[in-house]
Amino acid sequence: MTETKIKRSKFALFINTTPASTATYKLIGSGFTSAMINYNPEVTKEGYIHQDGKSSIVESYAPEIPLEGKFITGNDAQDYIETLRRARATGSAAETDVLLVYEWVTPVSTDQYPAEKQPVAIAFDKFGGEGATFMDTGCTLHFNGDPTQGLFDLSASTFA
């Protein structure tokens, strides 16, 4: 088996910009320079009376994706996120879903890649920056519940 390094660009992240109606998925890309899933595992460590070492049990995860980058207007994903930031959206108004698309995997059929649909709550971390620079922006996508496994059709922008 040949080992292959995978470029970050092959792990695509799409956000649903119309959560109250039929889903419209837009690529989270331009402007954002960092997006990594932090799984935040909850691990219980127990020491049993007959052992000197402890045992670890993974109880659950609380994944999140911090997004950081430069603020750009005219980008559908950033414009949607900016609308929520300006409204200081909370509760259900700050909820949508994202797709985690694995573009390095051989497509099931033309342009259909394995993907996870994940409900998220968006929390805003920062906005602004220092003088004489482009503005910084940052938010965190907090996962809600479990993902739905499926396929994302890149050409049609649909998840099934």
pLDDT digits (tens, 9 = 90+) for 59-85: 999 999 999 999 999 999 999 999 999
Q: Where do the domains of the chain lie?
A: 10-39+63-159
Instruction: Please check whether residue 26 is in contact with residue 15, taking contact to mean a CB–CB distance below 8 angstroms.
Output: yes
Tell me the CATH architecture of domain 10-39+63-159.
Roll (2.30)
pLDDT digits (tens, 9 = 90+) for 19-32: 999 999 999 999 99
pTM, two decimals, is 0.93
Query: Which segments of the chain have a pLDDT < 70?
Result: none
CA distance linking residue 69 with residue 151, whole number of Å: 28
Name the 3-class secondary structure at 34.
strand
Burial of 11 (0-12, 13-18, 19+ CB in 10 A): middle
DSSP labels for 125-141?
Answer: EEEE--TTSPPEEEEEE
Question: What local confidence, expressed as pLDDT, does residue 39 receive?
Answer: 98
Query: Using alpha carbons only, what angle is made at residue 143 by residues 40 and 41, rounded to the nearest 5 degrees?
Result: 15
Amino acid at 96: T
